[in-house]
Structure formats: structure tokens, C-alpha cells
Amino acid sequence: MKFYDCATAPSPRLVRMFIAEKGLSNSIETIEVDLREKEQMNDAFRAINPFLTVPALETDDGAIFLTSQGCWRYLEEAHPDPALLGRDATEKALVADAVWRAEQDGFLAVGEALRNTAKGMKDRALTGPHNHAQIAELGERGKRRVGHFFELLDTTMAEQPFMAGENFSAADIMAFVAVEFAGWLKLSIPEDAAHAQRWFNTVKTRPSASV
């Protein structure tokens, strides 16, 4: 199996953490795609992923998965223990709901803010083969949405230990990487959001948080 990664980027980190939680870090070959050098635009990588994004995962049979959640699904089915996408019908659906919420309200809100404000991303407001101009108002909206996400984290963690309930899951990976990604904007969980802080510090102590 080959994992197309970029050590500095948040989306491949979602898969890197998932792989670490599965205990597979030493059994998957990693190929670094340096986004700062625009290696995702090279012909060699374009042949792997015409959408020009990382992560991507290629199996020994030649199947290729082009999104973090496609990669997660394959790894979960091929290596079920420990379960990260839910253990039974109810938990699987709760994890799917929580992943979507953390991605939409957290991860993509940070991306919206960053890609519409960062000087280095001029005309790269969206990933992929087409250029898109930045929209300053989307940058501001994204930052406001990140604030709302931190509030959501706090109210969620007031009720339960992890994003989808009692157990650590991929939803915690999505939310944790989103919070660390928000650091690129110098945004962080407010000090007085004690429940969100407790959850964040718990996830941060997991070995997978350091990969």
C-alpha cells in the first residue's frame, strides 16, 4: 500500500492519524508530496489524483482512494480493530454524523478562512486544477464560523467524552485536526471553554496526535 502524504498539510494528517490509531504506521509506504513546492501539480502525481489533492491511498491491487474519508473507509474495512468508524449500526451512524459536523463546521470553516485570506494562496481559494480568486468576505465569515465551532465543541463535550459519544472515533480525529489547523489563523479554543479544552487535551496525549 502507498500513502500519498504531505507532512505540513491537514487533510493527509487525518489519514496519518487514522493509520497510527490502527497501528499501521510501519506497514504502509509513505510518499511525500510537497505542496509548498507544488508537487501536486506534477504530471506524476496528476496521474495518481487528477483532482491534485492529498491524501491519496493506493492498494497493492492498484485501487486508489482520493479523499481522506475514502482512505478511512478502506482502512477500516481492511483493518477493523480498533474500530474508528463505529462498532455497531447506531455508533456507525453517530460517527458519520459527527464527522460531517466536524468537517463542515470546523475543518472546512478553517479552510474557507485561510484560503480566502492567505497571501500565498492568491487565486488558489479552492484546491484542484482550476484557479479561483479569493473573496475577502468569505475569509471573515470563515473566521466567525471557527468561533462557532469552538462553541459547538464545548457544548458537545459538556455532554459526552468524545465527538460521537463514549468512544474515541474518526470524528475526534476530524475535530482535533480542525482545531490544530485553526492555529494557522492564530485561533484556538477559548480558555474558558473548559469542556472543549478537556477533550482537546485528552486527544492530544494520544500517540497518534504526534504523527
Q: What are phi and psi of 23, to 5 degrees?
A: 75, 30
Q: Kindly state the smallest distance separating residue 132's Cβ from ligand GSH, in Å.
A: 11
Q: Which residue, 100 or 194, is less far from ligand GSH as judged by CB? A: 100
Joined grid coordinates for residue 201: 487535551
Sorted by sequence, the CB contacts under 8 Å of residue 142 that are 6+ apart come out as 109, 110, 111, 112, 113, 114, 116, 117
Q: Which residue, 4 or 193, is less far from ligand GSH as judged by CB? A: 4
Nearest to 163 by CA among 76, 88, 84: 84
Q: Which residue, 16 or 193, is less far from ligand GSH as judged by CB? A: 16
Interface residues with ligand GSH (CB under 6 A)? 9-11, 35, 40, 52-55, 67-68, 124, 127
Q: Which residue, 131 or 201, is less far from ligand GSH as judged by CB? A: 131
Q: Kindly state the smallest distance separating residue 208's Cβ from ligand GSH, in Å.
A: 17
One-letter amino acid for residue 189 of the chain: I
Q: Kindly state the smallest distance separating residue 15's Cβ from ligand GSH, in Å.
A: 8
Q: Kindly state the smallest distance separating residue 70's Cβ from ligand GSH, in Å.
A: 8
Give yes or no for a contact between 10 and 3, defined as CB atoms under 8 angstroms apart. Answer: no
